[in-house]
Structures are given as structure tokens and as C-alpha cells.
């Protein structure tokens, strides 16, 4: 078992392949957090906690006037409320009598095989070859009978621990949850920890910021109803000296697609506390007697081998345990061309066939018909919600159009934005009450559209039925699922006034039900997510979508930073990336090399390319397939930091058996008569000889030399040149 309970010492030790997480039933049955780090034996680490009389720190009444025991200074697994702990907390509940108090103490536990599941919320799955165990530990308030079950699933081989919480109202009156976090983590010594997050904005998603924890509350949050362009539901805590290859790093990724919150605080004694879960702003949830409330899951990982190993733990897990679609591993994804930047709303069936015919010579295997094919949709002022084919544009009908594309031996994809509605639409005219709009106020428009109340079952049923009708009408291979605005005007016409704080979370639960009814009922369709680019790129989405459109910004040099930041959590095979007409000064070869640090495709009008450009694209499409397994399934290494690197940016993917690798180098600022630049590889077998090919090189070099001496990058070259260095172990020649 990966979970060991020592009944005598009352300790729980959770073991992954390389880590241990320990908690303990301590004084007065409060559950204490003792350790998370490199593997240790099942010894009791309670000796790490030293108790002192802390001035102005209250003591539980039943501590019998023991002034050295205060929850204000004790490391806990899940916090109390109004029990003397004044740090950021895990729960805020208003009880049936109006009081705000929760005094959770251990009452029971059980250990079982397999991962826990959550009602209405996505969680990873266990493969047959995985060792997966779950601890369910329950704490209870003896007065109110409110219980919180702390859920821990250990994915042993993956070095991943999944956490969540389940609240049960065992009392006689309804309670209102004002705040409920998925997890709480206390660090006994936090003064040397840095917080790494992925902030951004539209078109510049998942940039990287690193800051030292200070004696303040650091908040990473989205209040936009989606996980957002501005923040991502992931943070890492790393030792001050930790880098890519060394140092302790803790990763925390929330599996939730709505408004979220992560808070980190360095307290008065230099202890650190982190909580993560649903954003409590504009949130309240009533739990009636006998009912439960489940929080979304958090995926945690630890390593003492630096940020690269932390990222690889997540990459491996996302590729194997998050999404059951055959397109994750078993079916190679095609090179696609999307029509948006080629035609925007101005296209018809003839234009689409012309683009497909021209794109086929580029090595493109699928055309994706983007926005504008449905309802009365000639611009972004109308049509959303009317999911039927506009036969003034698609005059031959969708079924016939897809047949024509298939006859060219090409696949067909289609765009949807199910969650939104235009005021100028048949849907809005028939069901204006389905829109989120506060009574007596005009709703906020964004991209000239309004938000459907996806928390309502009749709205969910309409979306499932209308989208499925289109998918079942033709041989559709791919769907791009978009959402192009944040959520405002928080209101549901089917909830009473006192329960309007449930709207945000009900929306997310409703969205997951819609995706269950569409995506999981179409296993032969490849689904890609999009939210005005990367505005809802989060771990929960990757249980539904095999890939996510990283950003509407297709400028290649911007994407160097975007891919770098995304790689802290997300694998290459999940990042949608295309070659476009943006940044004409950057060569096509360089654009393609950058897009291969993603799922690869084209976002341009193939009918306007020269023969030379088409031949270049064909070669890059061929290289995409040549290096597909390396890029999608290999170990990823960040070889430079584009936020700091002046002259070039580089990354590397290495096969699991270390017999093959691909190093990509993008020159961004090679100054005249400057120094020679070298790129040092990582992850190779030191004593293996590799055939090095690319960048004018054709050499045999040892892994040790490549990692410690490096590869010299040519200098007398045009600006923004890309190099692909392919390494193959000699025994495979």
C-alpha cells in the first residue's frame, strides 16, 4: 500500500515513488501536517513541531489552560474557523443558528484502492498498471455536526497526490458555505520559499513571475467565471536557490474551470500556508441537512531535483491519466489549417474547398471551418445560439461539403461557441430568460454577446441536443470549442435571491455536464478547447479536450514566452500552436519550428501562398510527423529563459529511452561580431555516442560532451533563424 497508517503513533504516511507526505492525529484530535518532501520511512515526525507560549495566540478551551498549544502556530491539514487561528483559512461556514464557527476534529478514516471521484467534477483516472490508493479522513464539528472529509489519492508511480474536500451537513439546519478550499498546506519554515505563478492577459497568456514570500497574503485568482487569460490555476513554491535542475519545488494545480483562488501567507513565525480552491468572491452555497458539497481536486507534486522534474511529473501525468480519448496517445493528430485568419466571416462552401485543395499541397490533412457557418452569422453581432447550418453560405449543405473535403483525402473540423448567445438570434428571441441578466439592469456586452445560464438543466439539454445534431449530421473529425468572453451579470432566473451566490459554480458544473453529453459521447471526434485563445486553459479542461488553443496571438516571438510559461505545467501535446501570417519578417521555417513546440497547424489563406512557400510548409509538415513522438511524448527541457535570454531561445525533447533527442534553437538577437553561442543539452545518456545532425553539423558526439560542452550555434546567419538539431544514438543507426 502506498498509504500507511501507524495506529500506535496515529500517523498517516502517503508514499509516491520518490516522495512522502505525512499527517498525524495530534493533540485534542486536531489533524496536523508534518511533512511533504523526499521519501522517508514511516517514522513519526512530530518532533519537528516545537511548542511555545505565543503571546496573544488563543488556546482551545479543552487544552486545560495549556498556553503552549495554539492553532495560530500549529501546522494543520485543514483549518478551523473562529478557534484562535488568524491566518488564511480553508473554510468559512455560516451555521443554521447564524454563527460563523467550525471546530473540525478527527473522527474517522478509511483507506481504499483506486482514486476518489467527485460529484459533477472531473478527476484523473487510474490505469491498470498504476498503484493508486485513497485516504478519506473525516473531521467533525461536535456542536454543528458539520463534517469535512479530506480526500487524498496517491498516484504512486507518477509522484502525484490528488487532494479535495467533501463537506457533509449532519446537523438539523441548512448551512451556508461562504468559503471552502480544496486543500490547505502548511510549511513549518517558509521564509526561503519563492512563489511562481503564470499571470498574463489576452494574447500574452501564462507569462512567468517569481517572487519571494513576504509577510503578506499573496493572492493568485480569477473572478471572471473562467480560469482566465489573466491567471492560471497553478502555482509552484520553490526554494530560493531552486533552478531547473536542482532544489526543492512543490507544484499545485487546481482542476477547475471557473473563478478560482490560491492564497499564500508567510505568518508572524515565518511559517507558510497555502490554500487553493473555488474563489470565495461572490460565492455562497447552501448545504441542506444530509447533503454534501464536493470541492474540485488539486494535483500536487514534489521534487528536490528542480523545476524541470516538477514539470515533467505533470507532463507525464497529463499524458497518461487525464483524458481517455484515443487522440491523446493512440491516434496521431493531423496537421490542420484553420480558416479564421484566411476568411474571417467571409466564406462559402466554394472558398472552403479552394483553401482545402491548396492546403493539401502543404501537407495539411484537415481543414477547420471556423466562426460564421451557422444561423445569421455574417459578423459578431448575430447568430450565436442558432446551431443550424447557414445554407446561404454552405449552399451544398454540410453533409455534402464534408464529403467533398473527404474526397480529397482530407478531414473536416468545425467551430462552436455553445455557451454564448447573440441578442439577434432565434434562441434569444425564444428564451430571453436563459440569459444571465440582473433584473432591472442591462447586461454587460462583450464581443457583442451575452452569457447563457449554463447552470440551468434546460439550457444544458438544448446545447447537448443542438451540437450533437450537427456532429451527427456529417463525418466531422474535429471540433474547436470556443468561449469569447468572461462572465458578468451574475444571476439565474431559476434560483431564489438568497442562492444567487451559487450561480458561478453551477455554471461550471453545468458546463461539465454539457461536455459529458457531447465530448464523451463522440469518442471518434477530436476536441480542442479555446477561450479567446488560452483564457480557460486549465487541468480540468484537459480531461475533455486533447489540446487547447494556447493563444490568439500567433506572433512567433511572443509564442517563445508563451510556450515557455505553459511548459511549467502543460505538455507540448496539449498546446495548440499554428503558423500564421503574423510577423512577416520571421521566416516560415522559424514559425514552424516554434509551432512544433505545440500541436502544429496553419492559420492562413493557403490560396495566396507562393509555390515556394507551399513547398516550405510541406517540408515543415513532414518534419512535424517525423518528430511527432519526440515532441508529444518525450521529456521536455527548458534550455533557456526567453524572459532573460538575450540572443537565443532553446528547448529540447528527449525520448524516454534517451536514444533520440531534438534540440530547437531560435536566434532572436545575434549581434554583429558577437561572441560564439553554445547550447548545452540535458537528459542524454552520458556515455552514449550520438549522431548530431542539423545547423550545418554532421558529427558524432558523446552525451557527456553535448551536456557539458554543448553545441555551437552558427553566427553568420539571417535574423530569426531556427535550427533543429536531431540526436540519434549510434546503436540505432
N- to C-terminal Cα distance for the chain?
A: 43
CB-count exposure of residue 376 (10 Å: 0-12, 13-18, 19+): middle
Q: Which of 186, 348, 482, 605 is catalytic?
A: 482
Q: Which of 103, 141, 280, 552 is catalytic?
A: 552
| Residues, the chain | 733
Buried b (16+ CB within 10 A) or exposed e, 568-601: bbbbbbbbbbbbbbbbeebbbbbbbbbbbbbbbb
Residue 348 falls in the annotated catalytic set: no
Cα gap 225→486, rounded to integer Å: 6
* Sheet-wide strand order for 689-694: 635-638, 648-654, 660-667, 722-729, 689-694, 697-702
3-state secondary structure of 399: helix
Provide the β-strand partners of residue 151.
136, 164
Cα gap 659→661, rounded to integer Å: 7
Cα gap 473→482, rounded to integer Å: 20
352: CB partners within 8 A, 6+ apart: 339, 367, 369, 401, 405
Answer whether 511's CB lies under 8 Å from 531's CB: no
Residue 424 falls in the annotated catalytic set: no
Can you list the positions of beta strands (E) in 510-632?
Answer: 526-529, 547-549, 575-576, 579-580, 601-603
Q: How far is CA 405 from CA 212, 354, 374, 400, 618, in A?
A: 54, 10, 19, 9, 19
Which is it for strands 285-287 and 11-15: parallel, antiparallel or unpaired?
A: unpaired
Can you list the positions of beta strands (E) in 63-216?
Answer: 91-94, 104-113, 132-141, 146-155, 160-169, 175-187, 193-197, 209-212
Neighbours of 76 (CB within 10 A): 23
Cα gap 578→601, rounded to integer Å: 4
Neighbours of 330 (CB within 10 A): 7
What are the residue numbers of the active site? Answer: 482, 552
Amino acid at each position: 500500500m502506498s498509504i500507511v497508517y501507524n495506529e500506535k503513533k496515529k500517523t498517516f504516511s502517503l508514499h509516491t515513488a520518490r516522495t512522502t507526505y505525512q499527517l498525524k492525529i495530534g493533540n485534542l484530535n486536531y489533524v496536523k501536517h508534518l511533512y511533504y518532501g523526499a521519501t522517508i520511512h514511516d517514522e513519526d515526525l512530530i518532533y519537528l513541531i516545537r511548542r511555545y507560549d505565543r503571546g496573544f495566540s488563543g488556546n482551545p478551551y479543552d487544552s486545560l489552560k495549556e498556553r503552549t498549544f495554539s492553532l495560530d502556530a500549529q501546522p494543520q491539514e485543514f483549518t478551523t474557523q473562529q478557534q484562535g487561528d488568524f491566518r488564511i483559512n480553508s473554510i468559512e461556514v455560516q451555521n443554521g443558528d447564524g454563527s460563523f464557527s467550525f471546530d473540525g476534529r478527527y473522527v474517522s478514516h478509511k483507506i481504499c484502492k483506486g482514486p476518489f471521484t467527485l460529484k459533477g467534477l472531473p478527476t484523473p483516472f487510474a490505469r491498470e498498471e498504476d498503484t493508486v490508493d485513497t485516504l478519506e479522513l473525516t473531521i467533525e464539528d461536535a456542536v454543528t455536526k458539520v463534517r469535512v472529509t479530506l480526500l487524498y489519492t496517491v498516484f504512486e508511480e507518477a509522484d502525484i497526490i490528488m487532494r479535495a474536500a467533501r463537506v457533509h451537513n449532519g446537523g438539523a439546519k441548512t448551512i451556508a458555505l461562504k468559503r471552502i478550499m480544496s486543500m490547505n498546506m502548511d510549511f513549518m519554515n517558509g521564509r526561503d520559499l519563492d512563489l511562481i505563478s503564470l499571470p498574463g492577459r489576452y494574447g500574452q497568456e501564462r507569462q512567468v513571475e517569481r517572487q519571494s514570500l513576504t509577510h503578506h497574503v499573496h493572492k493568485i485568482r480569477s473572478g471572471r467565471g473562467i480560469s482566465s487569460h489573466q491567471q492560471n490555476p497553478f502555482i509552484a513554491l520553490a526554494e530560493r536557490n531552486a533552478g531547473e535542475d536542482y532544489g526543492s519545488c512543490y507544484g499545485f494545480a487546481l482542476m477547475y474551470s471557473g473563478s478560482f483562488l490560491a492564497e499564500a501567507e508567510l505568518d508572524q513565525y515565518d511559517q507558510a500556508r497555502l490554500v487553493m480552491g473555488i474563489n470565495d468572491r461572490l460565492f455562497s452555497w447552501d448545504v441542506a441537512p444530509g447533503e454534501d458539497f464536493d470541492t474540485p481536486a488539486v494535483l500536487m507534486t514534489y521534487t528536490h531535483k528542480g523545476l524541470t522534474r516538477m514539470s515533467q511529473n505533470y507532463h507525464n501525468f497529463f499524458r497518461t491519466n487525464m483524458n481517455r480519448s484515443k487522440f491523446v496517445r493512440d491516434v496521431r493528430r493531423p496537421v490542420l489549417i484553420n480558416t479564421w485568419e484566411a476568411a474571417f466571416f467571409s466564406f462559402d462552401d466554394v472558398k472552403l474547398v479552394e483553401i482545402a485543395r491548396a492546403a493539401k499541397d502543404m501537407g495539411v490533412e484537415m481543414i477547420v471551418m471556423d466562426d460564421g457557418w451557422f444561423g445569421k452569422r455574417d459578423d459578431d453581432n448575430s447568430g450565436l445560439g442558432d446551431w443550424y447550418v447557414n445554407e446561404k453560405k454552405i449552399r451544398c449543405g454540410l453533409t455534402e461539403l464534408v464529403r467533398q473535403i473527404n474526397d480529397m483525402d482530407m478531414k473536416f473540423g468545425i467551430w462552436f461557441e455553445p455557451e454564448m448567445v447573440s441578442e439577434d438570434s432565434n434562441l434569444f428571441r425564444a428564451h430571453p430568460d436563459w440569459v444571465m441578466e440582473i433584473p432591472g439592469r442591462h447586461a454587460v456586452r462583450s464581443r457583442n454577446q451575452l452569457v447563457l445560464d449554463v447552470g440551468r438543466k434546460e439550457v444544458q439539454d438544448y446545447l447537448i441536443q443542438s451540437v450533437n445534431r450537427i456532429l451527427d449530421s456529417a463525418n466531422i473529425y474535429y471540433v474547436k470549442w470556443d468561449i469569447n468572453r468572461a462572465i458578468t451579470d451574475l444571476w439565474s432566473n431559476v434560483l431564489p435571491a438568497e442562492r444567487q451566490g451559487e450561480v458561478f459554480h453551477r455554471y461550471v458544473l453545468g458546463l461539465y455536464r454539457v461536455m459529458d453529453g457531447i465530448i464523451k459521447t463522440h469518442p471518434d471526434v477530436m476536441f480542442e478547447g479555446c477561450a479567446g485563445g488560452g483564457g480557460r486553459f486549465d487541468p480540468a479542461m484537459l480531461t475533455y479536450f486533447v489540446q487547447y488553443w494556447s493563444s490568439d496571438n500567433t506572433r512567433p516571438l511572443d509564442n517563445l514566452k508563451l510556450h515557455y510559461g505553459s511548459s511549467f505545467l502543460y505538455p507540448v501535446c496539449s498546446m495548440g500552436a499554428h503558423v500564421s501570417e503574423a510577423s512577416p519578417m520571421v521566416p516560415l521555417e522559424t514559425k514552424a519550428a516554434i509551432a512544433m513546440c505545440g500541436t502544429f497547424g496553419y492559420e492562413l489563406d493557403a490560396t495566396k501562398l507562393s509555390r515556394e512557400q507551399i513547398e516550405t510548409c510541406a517540408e515543415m509538415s513532414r518534419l512535424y510527423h517525423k518528430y511527432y513522438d519526440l515532441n508529444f511524448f518525450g521529456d521536455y527541457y527548458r534550455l533557456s529563459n526567453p524572459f532573460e535570454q538575450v540572443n537565443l531561445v532553446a528547448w529540447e525533447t528527449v525520448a524516454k529511452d534517451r536514444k533520440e533527442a531534438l534540440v530547437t534553437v531560435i536566434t532572436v538577437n545575434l549581434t554583429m561580431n558577437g561572441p560564439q553561442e553554445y547550447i548545452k543539452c540535458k537528459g542524454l545518456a552520458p556515455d552514449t555516442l550520438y549522431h548530431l545532425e542539423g545547423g550545418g553539423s554532421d558529427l558524432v558526439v558523446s552525451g557527456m560532451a553535448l551536456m557539458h560542452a554543448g553545441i555551437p550555434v552558427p553566427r553568420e546567419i539571417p535574423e530569426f533563424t531556427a535550427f533543429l538539431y536531431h540526436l540519434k544514438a549510434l546503436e540505432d543507426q
